[in-house]
Amino acid sequence: MIGIKQFRINKMKKIILSLLLGGVVLTSCKKEEVTPEEIVTPTTESKVQIDSKTTISNKTVTLFADNTNLYTGANNLYVKVTDASGAAITNAMVMYMPMMQMTSMSHTCPVENPMYSSTLGMYKGLAVFIMSSDSGTWTLEVGVDGESVIFDLNVIESDTKMVGAYTGTDGITYFISLLRPVNWTVGMNDIEILIHKRESMMSFPSVNDFDVVMTPEMISMGHGSPNNVSPVFVSNGHYQGTVNYTMTGDWRLHFELSQNSTVIHSDAYLDILF
């Protein structure tokens, strides 16, 4: 009973308030400034074509990315496959095999094989480029139902540290990278990071059992931010959390990585600038 009465009073209060405030709003030249900042939903048009190749059986494989350039760190890579007649093939078995050829050796990098997305009309996968093209030559071999084509890639060094290689206390090298695209604002932001390890030069599997503690820091001022939610594992090496940027500028995200309560690395970090 008391609850209902309380509710009624609150409701009455609200009604009176809104009536009275209506008056104030009328007398005041209303000047609501809303700066729209829509989040761009990905469509085929928003992707940038990198290159196009033809397989032996005359299938056309076209490679797309989010930007004109590929950067060190995680990059979404999309391919569109069409047959000789130009019709899209939507059920092919598509594989990515990135490869970096350096003077003395060659290696691949963490990769996620593509899946067909009907909204995009393309196959969407991902590669984490751990070095830029300055130190070698990157290629991407795309396999389509047993055939393959090879793209030459140019990977540019990111402005900030978007991927880091850290050797854990267990002697294994781990790669931590930030999932793009990012559209940072002041305040709370969703964040997704990827963690992979190097098994061999040809194998970089995802790490799915880490506990992550994230601490943002504004290095030039020496302060942090409150209310961050450290990323937790979702699937396939992906960890999602929430990061709080109290102002724009240079931020460093520190990550403490541990596995079964054993600290693997106490200060892996990525750098942000916006």
Partner 1 sequence: MKIISCLIISCAVFYSLAQSDTSVVKNMLLEEVVIREVSFDGIKDQFKNNTQEHLLTDKMLENMSSVTLIKRGNYAQEPTIRGLNAGQINTTIDGMQMFGACTDRMDPISSYVEPINLESISLATGPNGSQFGSGIGGGLNFKLNKAKLNQKYVISGIAGVGFESNSNAFRFLGGIQISKKRFALQVNSIYREANDYYAGNRQKIDFSAYEKWNISGNAIFAVNTQNSIVLDYLQDDGRNIGYPALTMDVSFANAKAGAISHVLKRSGKTFYALETKVYYNYIDHAMDDTKRPAELVPMHMDMPGTSQTFGFYSNSDWRFGQNHFAKIKVNGYQNDLHAEMTMYPKAGKEMFMLTIPDTRRSILGLDVSDKWLVNKKVSLEYGGRVEVSRSEITTLMGRQTMTSFYNDDLVKDNLIWSAFLQSNYKINKQFSLHSGAARASRNPTLQEQYGFYLFNRMDNYDYLGNPDLKTETSWNFNLGASYSSKRVYVEAKLFAYFFSNYIAGLKLDDYSAMTIGASGVKQYSNLNSAVLTGFEVTGNYQLLKSLQFNTSNSFSYGEDGSHAALPFIPPFRSVNQLIYNLKGFKFNVEYIAAARQGHVDFERYGDSKSREFHIMNAGVSKSFKVNRFSYIIRFSANNIFDRVYFEHLDLMRISRQGRSFELNFTFGF
Q: Kind of pairing, strands 70-71 and 155-156?
A: parallel
Which one-letter DSSP state was computed for residue 77? E
Choose among Cu ion, partner 1, none what residue 54 binds, the Cβ cut-off being 5 to 8 Å by kind.
none
Number of residues that bind partner 1 (CB under 8 A): 42
225 binds partner 1 (CB under 8 A): yes
CB of 51 to partner 1, least distance (A): 33
Choose among partner 1, Cu ion, none what residue 34 binds, the Cβ cut-off being 5 to 8 Å by kind.
partner 1
The closest alpha carbon to 259, from 224, 215, 218, 209, belongs to 209
| CB closer to partner 1, 86 vs 226 | 226
102 binds Cu ion (CB under 5 A): no
Phi then psi dihedrals of residue 3, to 5 deg: -55, -45
| CB closer to partner 1, 28 vs 91 | 28
Choose among Cu ion, partner 1, none what residue 86 binds, the Cβ cut-off being 5 to 8 Å by kind.
none
Choose among partner 1, Cu ion, none what residue 20 binds, the Cβ cut-off being 5 to 8 Å by kind.
partner 1
CB of 176 to partner 1, least distance (A): 22
- Return the number of other C-beta atoms located less than 10 Å from residue 74's C-beta: 24
What mask of x and - would describe binding to Cu ion in positions 189 to 228, judged by CB under 5 A?
-----------------------------x--x-------
The closest alpha carbon to 192, from 206, 203, 176, 204, belongs to 176
Q: Which of residues 232-271 bind Cu ion (CB under 5 A)?
A: 247
- Return the number of other C-beta atoms located less than 10 Å from residue 119's C-beta: 10
Sign of the alpha-carbon torsion through 95, 82, 137, 111: negative
36 binds partner 1 (CB under 8 A): yes
CB of 183 to partner 1, least distance (A): 12
15 binds partner 1 (CB under 8 A): no
Burial code (b: 16+ CB inside 10 Å, e: under 16) for 123-160 equals bbbbbbbbbbbeebebebebbbeeeebebebebebbeb
240 binds partner 1 (CB under 8 A): no
Q: Which of residues 126-155 bind partner 1 (CB under 8 A)?
A: none
269, 215 in Cβ contact below 8 A?
Answer: no
Q: Which of residues 168-197 bind partner 1 (CB under 8 A)?
A: 185-188
Number of residues that bind Cu ion (CB under 5 A): 3
89, 99 in Cβ contact below 8 A?
Answer: no
From residue 34, how far is each of 26, 31, 37, 38 by CA, in Å? 19, 9, 9, 12
Contact residues for partner 1, defined by CB under 8 A: 13-14, 16-18, 20-21, 23-29, 32-37, 185-188, 218-227, 244-250, 273
